[in-house]
Amino acid sequence: MAEIIIRNLRKEFGSFTAVQSSSFKIEDGEFFMLLGPSGCGKTTTLRMIAGLELPSSGDIYIDGEEVAQKPASQRDIAFVFQMFALYPHMNVRKNLSYPLISQGMPRAQVKAKLAEVANILGIESILDKPVGGLSGGDRQRVALGRAIVRNPKAFMMDEPLGALDAEFREHMSLELRALHDRMGATTVYVTHDQLEAMQMGDKIVVMNHGVIEQFGKPQDVYDKPATMFVADFIGSPSMNFLRYHGNVETGATSIKLQNHKLTVPKMREPFEGDLAFGVRPEHIKLTDKSTYRAEVKATEYLGTTQIITLKTAHGVVKARAASGDVAKVGETVGLEFNGKTVTLFDNQTGRALRSELNEGVLAHG
């Protein structure tokens, strides 16, 4: 398997810039997620790494070799598409063996390799079935087998579970991660599903309009967002923002919101202007002891928890509470925020201000 290094990667289509000077490193054996909304540049980035698109500028290193201007056939990677990309006139066995036969591998080796991959994926019973009659999950297993059988340096996966229904998609995501762990493969995986990225990835790149907003471990991206876009895109419900005009001093451990003093992590930089006080729903507590008040607008029962929508003087927020907590629509309640988890943002640029919470993380953004 291989380490992949991306330096100042850029892709232009005429006057449109799809990817803007992206740089990151994918460690050998890492499950690496490219995450973002449609049109953010994640698939274009994947296709450039794979050699299906050549970059306008920048460097791509796979296993120490510079490959930015080399075609896909010279990069020793395997690509798994969302729509399976199987040969419909062949059965499963022939679909799996075709890449090896086309490379001139002796038939005895092809047979042994085929048996090994079929065992890994649990598809021995469907080897002689036509692919057209298979379920979506089995077809995706065959598509993965087509990639695995070549034993490439790295796997490129473009939303490979996107065509599956929700229940089976969750099952296959667990299988795919387990398969990755068994093989120790370097995998680059594109998705627009933040839950999928958080569940499966070792590292995540969050992209927006061709720009990398943040790069890091899933927990860091969730707990310490570098921008308001990341804070809003990651999480369900997403991070709340209380917007206000004020100032922050270096070393401050609280801010003034009208007449309310709210705790924040120790700040590492000063700021004055339009701010956003960012807090996750699970870090808001309803309590009569707080003087910061809000009106309950709606409640959403989710089994063990409920989502409570509240109207404050600085915007609408959502709190995640235990299902047994009583919150009646129309009543006024006090809100308490977990100050250790708060992120302050420049509301104009969307950039997170440096604090004790995110120290050492924002440099990756």
Exposed, middle or buried by CB within 10 Å (0-12, 13-18, 19+), for 339? middle
The string of pLDDT tens digits covering residues 82-120 is 666 788 888 999 888 988 888 888 989 888 988 888 888
DSSP for residue 298: E
pLDDT at 167: 73
Amino acid identity for residue 196 in this structure: E
DSSP for residue 339: G
For the chain, give the number of residues: 365
Please give the distance of CA 30 from its chain centroid, rounded to a whole number: 14
Q: Which residues contact 7 (CB under 8 A, 6 or more apart)?
A: 23, 58, 59, 60, 61
Which of these ranges, 61-65, 84-88, 210-214, 254-258, has the smallest mean pLDDT? Answer: 84-88
Q: Give the phi and the psi of residue 154 in degrees, each rounded to 5.
A: -155, 155
**Helices (DSSP H) in 149-255: which residue ranges?**
166-183, 194-200, 218-223, 228-233
Encoded tokens for 98: 């075709």
DSSP for residue 351: B
pLDDT at 314: 95
Secondary structure (3-state) at 14: coil
Question: Residue 162 pLDDT more than 60?
Answer: yes
Please give the distance of CA 123 from its chain centroid, rounded to a whole number: 29
The string of pLDDT tens digits covering residues 281-308 is 999 999 988 999 999 999 999 999 999 9
Structural domains counted in the chain:
2
- 247 shares a domain with 215: no
The string of pLDDT tens digits covering residues 30-75 is 999 999 999 999 999 999 999 999 999 999 999 999 999 999 989 9
Q: Does 212 reside within a domain?
A: yes
Which of these ranges, 8-12, 259-263, 309-313, has the smallest mean pLDDT? Answer: 259-263
Question: Residue 365 pLDDT more than 60?
Answer: no
- 265 shares a domain with 123: no
Encoded tokens for 22: 């992206």
* Residue of 172, 177, 104, 106 whose CA lies nearest to 137: 172
Domain range for 253: 238-356
pLDDT at 364: 44
Per-chain mean pLDDT for the chain: 91
- 346 shares a domain with 278: yes
DSSP for residue 275: E
Interstrand relation of 254-257 and 315-322 (parallel, antiparallel or unpaired): unpaired
23: confidence class by pLDDT, cuts 50, 70, 90? very high
- 276 shares a domain with 214: no
- 161 shares a domain with 277: no
Q: Give the phi and the psi of residue 304 in degrees, each rounded to 5.
A: -80, -20
Please tell me whether the peptide bond between 237 and the residue prior to it is cis, using omega within 30 degrees of 0. yes
CATH number (domain holding residue 215):
3.40.50.300
Per-residue pLDDT, averaged over 313-327, amounts to 93
Q: Does 229 reside within a domain?
A: no
Per-residue pLDDT, averaged over 304-327, amounts to 94
Domain boundary among 191, 223, 255: 223
pLDDT at 362: 66
What pTM was computed for the model? Answer: 0.88
Q: Does 319 reside within a domain?
A: yes
CATH number (domain holding residue 290):
2.40.50.140
Question: Residue 363 pLDDT more than 90?
Answer: no
Q: Does 348 reside within a domain?
A: yes
Per-residue pLDDT, averaged over 182-205, amounts to 93
Question: Residue 79 pLDDT more than 90?
Answer: no
Question: Residue 131 pLDDT more than 50?
Answer: yes
Please give the distance of CA 56 from its chain centroid, rounded to a whole number: 25
pLDDT at 84: 63
Q: Under a CB-based contact definition with an 8 Å cutoff, are residues 265 and 310 in contact?
A: no
